[in-house]
């Protein structure tokens, strides 16, 4: 038993030849860089595709809108609205010309 304990610790030594690491940093960085580059190229290609489709008017178009409107204006309603604003304007002019008669609160 005493010989098996030192042999056990010898097997656990972390020399590079004895360690079979499943991780290789160089390989991991290559995977990260190629994945990022590939994803960037795919995104750029899809963005270009959308740009040209939208620019040609093939997708994301709005329906044809009728720009000419034949809306009839109610003359009586228009005259009433103008008259109401004229009375408001006259009332505002009247209030601006009058002096304020507020009592002095300090007295």
For the CA atoms of 16, 19, 21, 27, the dihedral, rounded to the nearest 10 degrees, stands at 20
pLDDT, average across residues 30-58: 95
The lowest-confidence range among 8-12, 40-44, 48-52, 55-59 is: 8-12
- Tell me, what's the pLDDT at 13? 55
pLDDT for the residue 43: 98
> What are 59-89's pLDDT values in tens digits?
887 776 666 667 788 899 999 999 999 999 9
Helical H segments across the chain, by residue range: 4-11, 25-56, 75-97
Domain ranges of the chain: 23-55
Q: How far apart are CA 14 and CA 20, in angstroms?
A: 10
**The pair of three-digit structure tokens given for residue 51, joined into one six-digit string:** 């740009």
Mean per-residue pLDDT of the chain: 83
Residue 43 and residue 51 in contact, taking contact as beta carbons nearer than 8 Å: no
């Amino acid at each position: 038993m005493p010989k098996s304990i030192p042999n056990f610790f010898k097997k656990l030594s972390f020399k590079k030849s004895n360690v079979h690491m499943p991780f290789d940093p160089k390989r991991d960085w290559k995977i990260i860089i190629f994945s990022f580059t590939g994803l960037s190229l795919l995104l750029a290609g899809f963005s270009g595709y959308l740009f040209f489709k939208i620019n040609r008017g093939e997708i994301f178009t709005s329906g044809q809108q009728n720009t000419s409107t034949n809306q009839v204006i109610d003359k009586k309603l228009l005259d009433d609205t103008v008259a109401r604003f004229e009375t408001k304007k006259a009332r505002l002019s009247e209030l601006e010309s009058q002096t304020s008669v507020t009592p002095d609160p300090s007295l």
